Homo-oligomer: A and B are copies of this chain.
């Protein structure tokens, strides 16, 4: 665990992601304790952060619509984390920019990065060097601060997509923060991040939502659901994810996601053709290859992506 300390961390959106960071830094990091270690949560309204305060996840709360409280929250902040839906990145940054100290580093937890970088450039202009784009790859089905866990990030991957304008010290500071939660930190360019995440996260969500929708559109949906079994349960688990969040992700990562949908559709069409012509050898070859790759992945999955070439380990 890397040494990391801070005086003041401000989290916009204290839900699963923001709440877990707060809990990890406060509950796991006592041996590294430096300054006052204050964590302030900011919600859309004062009610939004009330539950996080009640649970002791944060030390103080402010509301976005209360200018004085917002200014006080941001004064002297070491790090600001944006953990709200990605579509809110630009309005959030525009709202906080006037109150941002020159030494504060801002980062985010958005699932897409090219659009976040564009939003940050638009909102921060010449001060964009203060913004280090990031993405902790650690979702759960459950959401909200009640689901926040101090060990959510242990052995999980965090991707940082540094801007050319970022000082190395700023990137290192954000990387150290995530390492202090137990995560492994990687660096990627935004388009690479967006392509990889479109593939391993966004596409399967779209496929699972589409699958349940297809059953719902059938004449005998109730009968079908009645005979769905274990394989169905696992395959559709991600179709229970938050609709608003996934709507935003699909639109924010549109370009990369469309490419994945198109190449998926081509593979599915090839399998369809093999089924139609009774080409058992082709089907078996694809199924066997998939099974072997899945088994290999499962074997490696106990560890984070420690072997990848772009790892920013120290």
In-complex Cβ contact of A226 among B138, B250, B295, B307 (8 A): B307
Interface residues on A, range: 35 or more
Please tell me which stretch of A38-46, A54-62, A272-280 contacts chain B, meaning at least 4 of its Cβ atoms lie within 8 angstroms of it. A272-280
CB pair B261 A268 closer than 8 Å: yes
A203 to B232, CA, bound (A): 10
A201 to B196, CA, bound (A): 28
Measured CB to CB, the nearest residue on chain B to A193 is B227
Q: Give A213-251 as 1s and 0s: 1 = Cβ < 8 Å from B's Cβ atoms.
A: 111111011111111111111111111111110111011
Contact A199/B213 with A138-B229, A276-B258, A278-B251 known, Cβ cut-off 8 Å: no
A157 to B206, CA, bound (A): 29
Work out how many copies of this chain go into the complex.
2
Q: Give A198-216 as 1s and 0s: 1 = Cβ < 8 Å from B's Cβ atoms.
A: 0111011111111111111
- Chain B residues within an 8 Å CB radius of A230: 139-140
Residues facing B in A281-296 (CB within 8 A) are: 283-284, 286-291, 293-296
Contact A207/B209 with A137-B229, A232-B200, A236-B294 known, Cβ cut-off 8 Å: no
- Chain B residues within an 8 Å CB radius of A211: 203-204, 207, 264
